């Protein structure tokens, strides 16, 4: 342990003595130390990944038992399926809509909660509260609230005079999908605000005082000070939220199960139907692999793009 | 190597296999209601008293995730010895050699306990693969108070009459609908087969291809769409699943709806003052009628290590006393002849109607990919209800897609 921690400490604080002992210890010991974490990752990430890849390349019966190699036939079937292509695009709309909306709303909320005002603790608790309720439960409550006949939303909107007749929100995608995106934003805000608050607390107060002295307006301070300082936290929020929202199942499943007529399906609900309703395990595994590839590509590309724009500054 | 292997195996099976011993019988049962779990616990303790060397373990699983649980269990080789399944899934289980044929256990006496109509869907290639544990058919519930208020004498005999009656009832108030139309989630397609059968259509044509493109199907879809356009159904049917429509009926907001016997037992508990009647599903122009018959079956898994013990438990479950208690508790139709002759069933007005429509009962077709075909039909209907396609377009497309799944 001692031998191992020495080079690590040296690497973390480059200002300290030159890392004399780092090189000779590198090889075997480093790999040995990484081994437990690698084994764990292999068990919970690589092993399922390998299994799913294997399933996606086979003809599989509905009970997940392999019935012979089929090459890329499952992927070809998906490609010919108009529902799959439409679902792919809808997943992009869903992800961009929810993550974009969450970011736009979370920044001002975080800025306000970062100010010192009476009752801030309470305000923070209220903003964070939805986080403590499971997303599935939130979706169930919304399903009741959105009921066309006896839903809370309709009676509330009628009471304030916005509506003069009941809207059956979940009857068609035109109303159901925007509502689902809205709920997605609502449940993503607590986490995102938390990330931004952490970022804001690391911004020193005095630079704002200096900027104010120089005559910078509030908007200029935000553009030139807050936003650049928050950038790594925005990157983090984007990457984590995209991964989470892209894979998010409960809201859409509970409200519409992807219907009517597949018009609110996203990849993960479509995958579930393929696997557990229609018994198309091979195609479902294919969707799973495609989702994994999309997320991996996005994350690598985005982090690379962000770090490239950051280096010159 | 062996202990390690055993350890890994138990971990993979969530410890269940690790606990199982010779003489243990595991049964996965569907949770029909809150009474299901206690019922099976009681049966197990009675059975174990008579058979002290057999230990029965019951796993209660909600219906919604039943197929998913069984799929996962089978894929992981961790399935129970017995399980309740929807009989419409049985073909997949038989084709993949998951289900054990039961003929070697069944003698004439045992077979004579069942009403043949309900046993027949479990028969494949001349062998019995499942024992019907629950059965139901569909009939039309109507709200007598609303009918009276609208000045209608009795339930409609044909779909033409239904449309007129629904219009009269809808005229009673803004939040009252004549006919409750299901347009969402499981059995959206079934809600449409009722009129399709009445118009003389069928799910599969005689040559085994899809019957969705037939004139009867298009006429039935056109009829349903005309109900929506005339405003005699509840608003936005595509937002209402079966439970939602049943809730409207219990609240007295819907004049008529078609569903299974269990609504009657729910009304007894939740809306005891509701004045309702049950009638056969309306007939078509040529007098055709159809109702949907559903059975669930208990199967034995081919890989079970305790088949004889499992059969002993089945034999006990299908004797009169346990069957009677289950059928009464859950509000199903009797599948056991002796049970159906008990006064609790022969003197029940509601169940009499359901029993009377049984000759018209049609079961889900025994084809692979049935769940997918049902989904194709549900989507087609939703497009019609939402005005995104004409009945001709939607039904023709549904027939094409169904034929692709059927390989026709």
pLDDT above 70 as % of chain A: 90
Q: B250 and B389: one domain? A: yes
Minimal CA separation from B320 to chain A, in Å: 34
Q: Are B179 and B375 in contact (CB under 8 A)?
A: no
Q: Which residue of B has its CA nearest to A262?
A: B379
Partners of A280 on chain B (C-beta within 8 Å) are 372
CB contact under 8 A, A168 and B175: no
pLDDT, position B151 = 95
Q: Where is mean pLDDT largest: A141-155, B210-224, B341-355?
A: B210-224
Q: Of A149, A257, A278, which has the smallest distance from its Cβ to B185's Cβ?
A: A257
Mean pLDDT of chain A: 86
pLDDT, position B351 = 85
Q: B122 and B155: one domain? A: no
Render pLDDT for B149-161 as a digit per residue (tens, 0 to 9).
999 999 999 999 9
**A interface test, pick of B181, B236, B240, B250 with most A CB neighbours within 10 Å:** B236
CA distances from A241 to A41, A92, B147 (A): 21, 13, 54
Which secondary-structure segment (H or E) carries B86?
strand B82-86
Closest CA to B32 of B70, B67, B60: B60
Residue B5 confidence (pLDDT) above 70:
no
pLDDT, position B398 = 96
Q: Return the minimum-mean-pLDDT range out of A227-236, A302-311, B271-280, B321-330.
A: A302-311
Render pLDDT for A193-210 as a digit per residue (tens, 0 to 9).
999 999 998 888 888 888
Stretch B317-341: mean pLDDT: 90
Q: B402 and B266: one domain? A: yes
pLDDT above 90 as % of chain A: 53
Pick the CATH number of A81-310 from 1.10.3720.10, 3.30.230.70, 1.20.120.1760, 3.30.450.20: 1.10.3720.10
Instruction: Determine whether B328 is exposed, middle or buried from the number of CB atoms within 10 Å of its CB (0-12, 13-18, 19+).
Output: middle
Q: Is B379 on the interface with A (CB under 8 A)?
A: yes
**Interface of chain A toward chain B, CB-CB under 8 angstroms:** 61-65, 147-150, 166, 168-172, 256-257, 259-262, 273, 275-280
Mean pLDDT of chain B: 89
pLDDT, position B16 = 44
Instruction: Give the model's confidence band at B55: pLDDT under 50 very low, under 70 low, under 90 confident, else very high.
Output: very high
Q: Which residue of A has its CA nearest to B67?
A: A276
Residue that has been written with the tokens 């869907």 in this structure: B121
pLDDT, position A279 = 85
Which secondary-structure segment (H or E) carries B73?
helix B66-75
Residue that has been written with the tokens 């669930």 in this structure: B296
Q: B279 and B300: one domain? A: no
Q: B49 and B120: one domain? A: yes
Instruction: Give the model's confidence band at B21: pLDDT under 50 very low, under 70 low, under 90 confident, else very high.
Output: low
pLDDT, position B380 = 95
Tokens of B44: 């197990």
Residue B158 DSSP one-character state: B
Q: B70 and B209: one domain? A: no
Render pLDDT for A49-82 as a digit per residue (tens, 0 to 9).
999 999 999 998 888 788 889 889 999 999 998 8
Rounded Cα gap, residues A275 and B163, in angstroms: 40
Residue that has been written with the tokens 């990330």 in this structure: A195
Q: B249 and B379: one domain? A: yes
Per the structure, how many domains does chain B have?
Answer: 2
Q: B112 and B27: one domain? A: yes
Question: Residue B273 belongs to a domain with what CATH number?
Answer: 3.40.190.10
Render pLDDT for A124-140 as a digit per residue (tens, 0 to 9).
999 888 888 999 999 99
- In B343-372, the residues whose Cβ lies within 8 Å of chain A are 369, 371-372
Partners of A279 on chain B (C-beta within 8 Å) are 71, 92, 369, 371
Rounded Cα gap, residues B29 and B175, in angstroms: 39
Question: Residue B23: helix, strand or coil by DSSP?
Answer: coil
Stretch B331-345: mean pLDDT: 87
Q: B46 and B146: one domain? A: no
3-state helix, strand, coil in chain B (%, to 5): 50, 15, 35
Q: B271 and B299: one domain? A: no
Stretch B143-147: mean pLDDT: 96
Instruction: Give the model's confidence band at A23: pLDDT under 50 very low, under 70 low, under 90 confident, else very high.
Output: low
pLDDT, position B22 = 59
Q: Would you tell me how many other CB atoms lie within 10 Å of the CB of residue A53?
A: 15
Q: Would you tell me how many other CB atoms lie within 10 Å of the CB of residue B45?
A: 10
Closest CA to B306 of B49, B81, B13: B81
Residue B12 confidence (pLDDT) above 50:
no
Residue A215 confidence (pLDDT) above 90:
no
- Predicted ipTM of the assembly: 0.79
CA angle, corner A208, sides to A205 and A213, nearest 5?
A: 130
The DSSP secondary structure of B231-267, one letter per residue, reads T-B-S-GGG--HHHHHHHHHTT-EEEEEE-THHHHHH
Q: B95 and B146: one domain? A: no
Partners of A150 on chain B (C-beta within 8 Å) are 251
What phi and psi, each to the nearest 5 degrees, are found at residue B80? -75, -170
Render pLDDT for A255-289 as a digit per residue (tens, 0 to 9).
999 989 899 999 999 999 999 888 889 999 999 99
Which domain, by its residues, includes B73?
Answer: 2-136+294-362
Q: Where is mean pLDDT largest: A206-220, A225-239, B391-405?
A: B391-405
List residues bridging with B336 in a β-sheet: B114
- In B108-167, the residues whose Cβ lies within 8 Å of chain A are none
Instruction: Determine whether A141 is exposed, middle or buried from the number of CB atoms within 10 Å of its CB (0-12, 13-18, 19+).
Output: middle
Stretch B382-401: mean pLDDT: 95
pLDDT, position A27 = 79
Closest CA to A52 of A264, A301, A282, A275: A282
Minimal CA separation from A269 to chain B, in Å: 13
Rounded Cα gap, residues B70 and A61, in angstroms: 13
Closest CA to B185 of B341, B402, B374, B333: B374
Instruction: Give the model's confidence band at B258: pLDDT under 50 very low, under 70 low, under 90 confident, else very high.
Output: very high
pLDDT, position A25 = 59
Q: Is B257 on the interface with A (CB under 8 A)?
A: no
Q: Which residue of B has its CA nearest to A253?
A: B185
Residue A3 confidence (pLDDT) above 70:
no
- In B54-83, the residues whose Cβ lies within 8 Å of chain A are 67-68, 71-72, 74-75
pLDDT, position A64 = 79
Alpha helices in A117-161 (DSSP H): 120-128, 135-145, 152-159
Residue A7 confidence (pLDDT) above 70:
no
pLDDT, position B191 = 96
Which secondary-structure segment (H or E) carries A230?
helix A227-246
pLDDT, position B329 = 85
Q: Which residue of A has its CA nearest to B248?
A: A149
CA distances from B75 to A67, B225, B297 (A): 13, 43, 21
Q: B66 and B78: one domain? A: yes
Tokens of A148: 């066309």
Instruction: Give the model's confidence band at A233: pLDDT under 50 very low, under 70 low, under 90 confident, else very high.
Output: very high
CA distances from B399 to A39, A273, B190, B367 (A): 51, 20, 16, 15
pLDDT, position A243 = 93
A261: region left, alpha or beta (phi > 0 left; psi from -120 to 50 alpha): left
Could you tell me which residues come within 8 angstroms of residue B108 by beta carbon, excluding any fewer than 6 positions away?
A: none
Residue that has been written with the tokens 């599935």 in this structure: A136
Domain spans of chain A?
2-56, 81-310
Partners of B96 on chain A (C-beta within 8 Å) are 61-63, 65
Closest CA to B128 of B136, B119, B137, B115: B119
Extended beta strands in chain A, E state: 58-60, 66-69
Q: Are A281 and A60 in contact (CB under 8 A)?
A: yes
Could you tell me which residues come within 8 angstroms of residue B388 by beta carbon, excluding any fewer than 6 positions away?
A: A261
> Do the strands B254-259 and B139-143 form a parallel or antiparallel pair, or are they unpaired?
antiparallel
Instruction: Give the model's confidence band at A141: pLDDT under 50 very low, under 70 low, under 90 confident, else very high.
Output: very high
Interface size, chain A vs chain B, as Cβ–Cβ contacts under 8 Å: 94
Rounded Cα gap, residues B77 and B98, in angstroms: 11
Could you tell me which residues come within 8 angstroms of residue A4 by beta carbon, excluding any fewer than 6 positions away?
A: A25, A29, A30, A33
Q: How many residues does chain B have?
A: 408
């Amino acid at each position: 342990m001692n031998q191992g921690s020495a080079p690590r400490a040296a690497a973390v604080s480059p200002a300290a003595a030159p890392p004399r002992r780092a090189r000779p210890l590198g090889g075997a010991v480093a790999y040995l130390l990484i081994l437990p974490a690698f084994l764990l990752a292999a068990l919970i990430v690589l092993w399922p990944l390998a299994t799913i890849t294997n399933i996606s390349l086979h003809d599989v019966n509905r009970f997940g038992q392999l019935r012979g190699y089929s090459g890329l036939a499952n992927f070809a079937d998906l490609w010919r399926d108009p529902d799959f292509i439409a679902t792919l695009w809808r997943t992009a709309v869903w992800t961009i809509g929810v993550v974009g909306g969450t970011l736009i709303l979370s920044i001002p909320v975080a800025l306000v909660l970062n100010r010192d005002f009476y009752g801030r603790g309470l305000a923070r608790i209220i903003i964070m509260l939805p986080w403590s309720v499971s997303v599935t439960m939130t979706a169930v409550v919304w399903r009741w609230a959105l009921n066309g006949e006896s839903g809370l939303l309709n009676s509330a909107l009628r009471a304030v005079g916005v509506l003069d007749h009941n809207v059956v929100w979940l009857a068609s995608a035109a109303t159901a999908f925007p509502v689902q995106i809205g709920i997605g934003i609502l449940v993503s805000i607590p986490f995102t605000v938390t990330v931004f608050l952490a970022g804001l607390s690391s911004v020193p107060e005095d630079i704002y005082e200096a900027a104010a002295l120089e005559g910078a307006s509030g908007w200029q301070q935000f553009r030139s000070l807050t936003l650049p300082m928050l950038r790594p936290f925005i990157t983090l929020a984007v990457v984590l939220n995209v991964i989470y929202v892209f894979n998010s199942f409960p809201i859409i499943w509970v409200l519409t199960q992807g219907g009517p007529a597949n018009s609110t399906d996203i990849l993960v609900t479509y995958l579930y139907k393929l696997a557990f309703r229609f018994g198309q395990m091979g195609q479902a595994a294919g969707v799973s692999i495609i989702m994994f590839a999309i997320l991996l590509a996005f994350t690598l590309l985005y982090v690379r793009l962000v770090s490239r724009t950051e280096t010159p500054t | 190597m062996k202990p390690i292997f055993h350890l890994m195996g138990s971990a993979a099976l969530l410890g269940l296999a690790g606990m199982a011993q010779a003489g243990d019988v595991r049964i996965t049962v569907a949770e029909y209601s809150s009474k299901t779990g206690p019922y099976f616990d009681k049966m197990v303790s009675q059975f174990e008293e008579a058979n002290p060397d057999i230990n029965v373990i019951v796993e209660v699983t909600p219906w919604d995730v039943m197929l998913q649980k069984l799929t996962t269990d089978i894929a992981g080789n961790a399935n129970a010895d017995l399980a309740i399944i929807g009989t419409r899934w049985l073909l997949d289980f038989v084709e993949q050699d998951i289900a054990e044929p039961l003929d070697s256990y069944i003698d004439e006496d045992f077979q004579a306990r069942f009403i043949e109509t309900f046993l027949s869907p479990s028969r494949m290639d001349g062998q019995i693969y499942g024992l019907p544990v629950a059965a139901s058919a569909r009939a039309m519930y109507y709200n007598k108070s609303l009918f009276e208020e609208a000045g209608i004498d009795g339930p409609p005999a044909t779909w033409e009459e239904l449309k007129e009656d629904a219009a009269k009832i809808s005229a009673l108030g803004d939040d009252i609908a004549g006919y409750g139309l299901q347009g969402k989630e499981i059995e959206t397609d079934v809600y449409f087969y009722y009129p399709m059968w009445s118009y003389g259509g069928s799910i599969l044509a005689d040559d085994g291809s899809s019957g969705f493109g037939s004139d009867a199907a298009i006429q039935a879809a056109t009829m349903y769409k005309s109900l929506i356009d005339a405003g005699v159904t509840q608003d936005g049917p595509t937002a209402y699943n079966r439970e939602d429509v049943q809730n409207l009926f219990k609240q007295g907001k819907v004049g008529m709806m078609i569903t299974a016997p269990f609504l009657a037992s729910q009304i007894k508990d939740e809306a005891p003052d509701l004045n309702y009647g049950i009638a056969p599903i309306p007939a078509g122009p040529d007098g055709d009628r159809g109702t949907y018959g559903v059975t669930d079956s208990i199967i034995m898994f081919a890989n079970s290590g305790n088949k004889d013990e499992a059969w002993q438990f089945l034999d006990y479950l299908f004797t009169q006393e346990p069957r009677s208690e289950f059928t009464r508790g859950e509000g199903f139709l009797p599948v056991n002849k002796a049970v159906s002759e008990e006064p609790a069933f022969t003197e029940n007005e509601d169940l009499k109607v359901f029993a009377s429509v049984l000759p018209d009962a049609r079961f889900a077709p025994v084809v692979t990919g049935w769940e997918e075909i049902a989904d194709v039909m549900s989507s087609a209907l939703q497009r019609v209800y939402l005005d995104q396609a004409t009945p001709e377009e939607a039904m023709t497309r549904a027939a094409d897609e169904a034929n692709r799944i059927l390989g026709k």
